Amino acid sequence: MTKDERVISLSTKQHPRRWRPQEIIYLKRHYAREGVAAVASSLQRSIRAVKFKLSQLNLHGRNITPWTRAEDAHLRLWYGKRSFRDIGRKLERSWQSVTGRAIRLGLKKRNTLAWTNQEIDFLRRNHRRMRYHQLARQLRREPGTVNSKLRRMGLRKLAEKKRWTPAERRLVKRKYGKIPRPDLARMLAVPDHVLENLAVNMKLVGEPGRKYAEVELRFIQSHYRTMSAETIARKLGRRPQAIRSLASKRGWKGRKSLSTTLTEQQQRFIRENYHTLSTHEIARRLGLKRVTVLVYARRSGLVHHVRPFTKKEHACIETHKGIMPLAAIAQKIGRGEYAVRYYGQTQGWEFRIRPARATTY
């Protein structure tokens, strides 16, 4: 480039336009509904300039579901009484969204909400016969708040001992070790640790002198290479450490290593196609789990290069980006969500992160 051409290029270089107040107002009103690309086209600015201005205004350049009056009323009602996660779970929103909305509404924390005399009397009368979550539901407070108040008042909930009926004991003796302990606890409507204490007292699990039956030994020997010690212990009603100790004494080997689990054809297919196919596609064709493919590739030193997007995939994403959620688009073209999102960012597209809510009339 000659000196004259360099001077001409410097003189014709476009300097950034200043944002007018009307443009800023339009940006605030329409970026959440229309997206960054549409706003940039309307304002005749680049997508990069619009995103930079959004960051200066402390706004997020993505599709945001507007808050309704009913959601604001629900937030005002439970703010300070429920956690942000509980409120967000009820409103189908993230806890970050709930926190930001509370700040915009000017809500102040009410962690030091005074306890009334009626609430204190209710705690004194019912703290022994009701659980923390039941007290919290009646008082519209958090279970942790109720627990702290009872501790400050010097009141303790006495743990009522479970009284087992003869029918329940017979059921535990018959079913314990044959079905998973959580399922049996759910069947008896008791916590898992309560059922475990009963099994220890009934000498069904955990005592040192308990011998293994022939059925148990055959089960452990046949499944120790395919199942974990925790799963075997849960099925037999034993401790995982006891299962490992028995296997070590008998010389039984544990789960097969990854190299012996995969056949030579599967290993060769992964090595040949890891650079061209996604891990989901490889796992689907081989009938394996995706984590198995990833672990083998990591141990083998394989590197997964980014596969370029084709014109057909580009057209599919551009057509469905405002209609279908991001996860559905990624599944439709056989790509990962992060890959589709990153590619959309390079193109200035915005995606729907979650499905649209059902509208009632």
For residues 314 and 240, give the distance between their C-alpha atoms in angstroms, rounded to a whole number: 51
Both 201 and 275 in one domain: the answer is no
Alpha carbon of residue 40 to chain centroid: 34
Both 195 and 245 in one domain: the answer is yes
Taking 50 as the threshold, does the pLDDT of residue 360 lie above it? no
Strand partners, 325: 352
Both 141 and 170 in one domain: the answer is no
Both 237 and 184 in one domain: the answer is yes
Range of the domain at 223: 166-250
For residues 324 and 94, give the distance between their C-alpha atoms in angstroms, rounded to a whole number: 20
Within a domain: 146: yes
Question: Is the whole model's pTM more than 0.85, yes or no?
Answer: no
Average pLDDT over residues 283-310: 79
- Whether 237 and 199 have beta carbons less than 8 Å apart is answered as yes
Within a domain: 134: yes
Both 238 and 171 in one domain: the answer is yes
The model's pLDDT over 17-47, given as tens digits with 9 standing for 90+, comes to: 888 888 888 888 877 667 777 788 888 888 8
Within a domain: 24: yes
The residue with greater pLDDT, 295 or 306, is 295
DSSP state of 262: S
Within a domain: 344: no
Q: Distances from the Cα of 200 to the Cαs of 166, 174, 183, in angstroms?
A: 17, 15, 18
Taking 80 as the threshold, does the pLDDT of residue 261 lie above it? no
The mean pLDDT of the chain is 76
Residue ranges in 19-165 assigned as alpha helix (H): 21-34, 36-43, 47-56, 69-78, 84-91, 95-104, 117-126, 132-139, 143-152
For residues 328 and 351, give the distance between their C-alpha atoms in angstroms, rounded to a whole number: 11
Note the pLDDT of residue 80. 74
For residues 316 and 118, give the distance between their C-alpha atoms in angstroms, rounded to a whole number: 61
Within a domain: 356: no
Within a domain: 35: yes
Q: Which of 338, 321, 337 is nearest to 63 (CA)?
A: 321
Domain count, the chain: 5
Within a domain: 20: yes
Both 100 and 47 in one domain: the answer is no
Taking 60 as the threshold, does the pLDDT of residue 180 lie above it? yes
> Nearest-5° angle of CA 308, CA 312, CA 313?
55
- Choose the weakest-confidence range: 8-22, 134-148, 158-172: 8-22
Both 197 and 223 in one domain: the answer is yes
Within a domain: 311: no
For residues 341 and 353, give the distance between their C-alpha atoms in angstroms, rounded to a whole number: 10
